[in-house]
Structure formats: structure tokens, C-alpha cells
Amino acid sequence: MIIGLMGFGTIGAGVYELAKSRKDLTVRYVLDIREIGIPEWTTRAEDLFEDKEVDTVIEVMGGLHPAYEFVAAALKAGKNVVTANKYLVATYYDELTALAKEQDVAFRCTAAVGGGISWLTSLERVRRLEPVVALEGIMNGTTNYILTNMAKNGLSFETALSEAQALGYAEADPSADIDGLDVMHKLLLSANIAFDVSLDPKEIDVFGIRNITDDDVWTFKSRHLTCKLLARAFQKNGKTAVFVQPTLLSESALTASVPTNFNLITYDTAFTGKMSYYGQGAGRYPTAANVVQDCLDLLSGVTKFYADAADKVAVDNSVAKYQYYLRTTADTKALAAEKWGDGVLTKEMSVAEMAAFAEKAKAEDPRIFVAALKNEE
């Protein structure tokens, strides 16, 4: 395989190193605007598209532009594309999957969800035989690192975030991590593949952890609860619910014990039931290894994307119901069931209702924090 690699940051440098160790992978170009001091370096994206011998383009630049233009150009030039860029694939899902199909080339993004976990390839495999009814889990290493360190080691939010950045877990702009958007993109990709749909990212309700305080964590601890940022999607009675929210789990729950940058992602299917995947969800080598595994899959004959169909389906989060820990200076009288630390525990309400409340309350109180209370597990 002759590879054109786009991006030589945390992941790109890892991909370069791992690919170099193999005889069946040749990195011919590495595109980066910075001088990177390697012989394959180029600043001209055209070098990769115009070279007929390059059969696969790997995009690990991140961001939407020029990643979209470059990936579209690579597909149009008849190259297979492997990317770890969830923001890109989630945003241009219809365009890029259709283009790959039209050009009859492979389009793979396994490292985009779960870092080093072979989650998307496992979903692809299970959905051949069984309908997937639900997906759930921890899909972001940075926020899990922050939440683990706040609860277990008493670190402040800011210190834990700085450490996650130093370890190469966080996005270039860590807002995407702490506001839940990174998880939303990963959930959208997973749900699209699992359910054969094409979801609109704007319809997915997302609550992040930016505003969680030491006192919130203390309130949860005193009730033997652990807060994790969870993604969830399910289909029930013809409705599709898809949302991301901090979730309070019993300390003894499996998901509550997931440490540092690890992810734990579960699907629930008609015959097998629940199956979980656990591993490092962020970091140079786990993610780079998953990118290189995609290349090896191409060498073993993979020729397309993970799913074929992509029906437009509206998200309906009125069918998912929780009690919520809600801390805000906005008026909560109509929702509150009991007082919990600096906040309240609400009566049961739907994710859609809480999203509508939080959207309004945010105007008055930008520091609002919500976390769903999960009873089962």
C-alpha cells in the first residue's frame, strides 16, 4: 500500500512511526504546513492526489477545513481514505459516504470513535446479523480523565484538563471535549452505522461537564454516586433517541469504574444482548494503531464504508426519561423533588424537556450544570 499521510501532529506522527515498521505499508508523502524534517514532507496536497501510485490517503489533520476539501479531492481522485476525524465524518456523513460509494473506494474511520478500540468494525460485524437496539458508553478520554481525577484524586477541573492536554488526549480546542461535542460526533457516527440512518447533529441533545464543581462531585460522592459523561442512543416503538449527558451511576456499576483516558462502549442487540468494548479512548499510539489497522483491513480486502443505507430519521428525546441533578440560579421550583447539595434532584422528566429548560436557563445562568440519575445497571 502506498500512502499519502495528511497531518503530522500527535496522531500523524504515531501513524508514520507504526507504518514505517511494516513492509506492506509505504508512506510516500506527509502533508503538513510546518517544516517537519522528514524526507516525505510536502506542503502540496496535490502531490498526494496526482501520484497514481498512491492508493490510500490517511487524514489525521483534524478540523473541518481544509480536511473536507482534501478528503473529497482524494476520494474523487479514486483513493481509499482512512481518517480519525470524527468531526469531519459526522458533519459531512452523507456527502463523503456517497462519494466513496460513487468512486467505488473504501472509506474508513475506526479510530474516530473510541481511540484505540475496534468499536466501529465490531458494530459493522454485529449489524450484519442482528438489529442493534441501543448504544451506550463513555466515548471521550479527556472528560473521563477529568472526572476520574476530580473524584478519586481531588484534582481541580482546570488541573485535570491541563494534564489531559499534556498527555495528548484533548482536542486542539478542548471545548469540543468538555462541552460534549466530541462525544456527540462519535455517537452520531455509531448510531448512523448501527441503525442505518443519517442523523442531524443539531437534533442531538448535548450536556457537557464544563461547569461541574468540586462541590457537585462531593454531593455525588456522599450519595455513593459517580459522574461519567455518557452517550446513549436507542430505538424503541419507531422512535430514535440520541443524547449525551453527564450521568450519575452507582459507585459499584461497571461504567463507574472506568479510569483515566479509557472508554467503555456497549451495544445491545436482538440476539446477543449487551456486549462492551473497553480500552484507551485517546492518545497517540492507541489511536494511530487503529488508523493503521484500517489500512491493514484494506489490504485484506475491505472496500467500502461500514454501512450502506442512510435514512433521514428525526431524533426524538421525549422517550428517554430521567431524574436530574440540577444546579442553577434559575428558578427550579416547578421541577424540584428534593434538595441535593448546591442543587436539586428533579422529578422524572424527558431528556428533551431538560434540554429545553437548560437552554432557557443558560441565558440567566451560564454556570448551570445538569446530570441524569441512572437507576438501572
Q: Which is nearer to ligand HSE, 32 or 177 (CB)?
A: 177
Shortest distance, CB of residue 286 to ligand HSE, whole angstroms?
Answer: 9
Strand-strand pairing, 197-198 and 239-250: unpaired
Q: Which of 84, 317, 101, 113 is nearest to 200 (CA)?
A: 317
Nearest residue (CB) to ligand HSE, 89 versus 344: 89
Query: Shortest Cβ distance from residue 111 to ligand HSE (Å)?
Result: 8
Q: Which of 374, 178, 144, 153 is nearest to 265 (CA)?
A: 144
Total binding residues for ligand HSE by CB under 6 A?
11
Residue tagged active-site, from 79, 86, 186, 374: 186
Distance CA 260, CA 140 (A): 10
CB of 346 to ligand HSE, least distance (A): 29
Q: Which stretch binds ligand HSE (CB under 6 A): 71-79, 166-174, 209-217, 322-330?
A: 166-174
339 is catalytic: no
Q: Is 191 in the site for ligand HSE (CB under 6 A)?
A: no
List of residues 6+ apart from 310 with CB closer than 8 A: 93, 94, 97, 192, 196, 197, 198
Are 135 and 267 contacting, i.e. CB atoms less than 8 angstroms apart? yes
Bridge partners (DSSP) of residue 266 are: 136, 276
Applying the rule CB under 6 A, the residues between 81 and 140 that interact with ligand HSE are 115, 140
CB of 206 to ligand HSE, least distance (A): 15
Q: Out of 12, 62, 116, 141, which residue is the one contacting ligand HSE (CB under 6 A)?
A: 141
Q: Count CB-CB contacts under 10 A for residue 360.
A: 10
DSSP bridge pairs for 262: 280
Binding characters for ligand HSE, 273-312, by CB under 6 A (x = yes): --------xx------------------------------
Q: Tell me which stretch binds ligand HSE (CB under 6 A): 44-52, 168-176, 200-208, 244-252.
A: 168-176
Residue 366: CB minimum distance to ligand HSE, A? 23
Q: Which of 40, 124, 171, 179 binds ligand HSE (CB under 6 A)?
A: 171
Strand partners, 108: 82
67-76 and 93-103 helices, crossing angle to 10°: 20
Question: What count of residues does the chain have?
Answer: 377
Per DSSP bridges, beta strands 343-346 and 239-250 are unpaired
Amino acid at 366: P
Q: Closest residue to ligand HSE, Cβ-based?
A: 142
- Does 168 bind ligand HSE (CB under 6 A)? Our answer is no
Q: Which of 182, 205, 216, 316 binds ligand HSE (CB under 6 A)?
A: 182
Which of 85, 142, 149, 255 is the binder for ligand HSE (CB under 6 A)? 142
Three-state secondary structure call for residue 361: helix
What is d(CA 224, CA 245) in angstroms, rounded to the nearest whole number?
19
Part in contact with ligand HSE (CB under 6 A); list of ranges 13-21, 170-178, 291-299, 309-317: 170-178
C-beta neighbour count of 328 within 10 angstroms = 21
**Of all helices (H) and strands (E), which one includes residue 289?**
helix 284-299
Chain residues binding ligand HSE by CB under 6 A are 115, 140-142, 169-171, 177, 182, 281-282
**Residues classed as catalytic:** 186
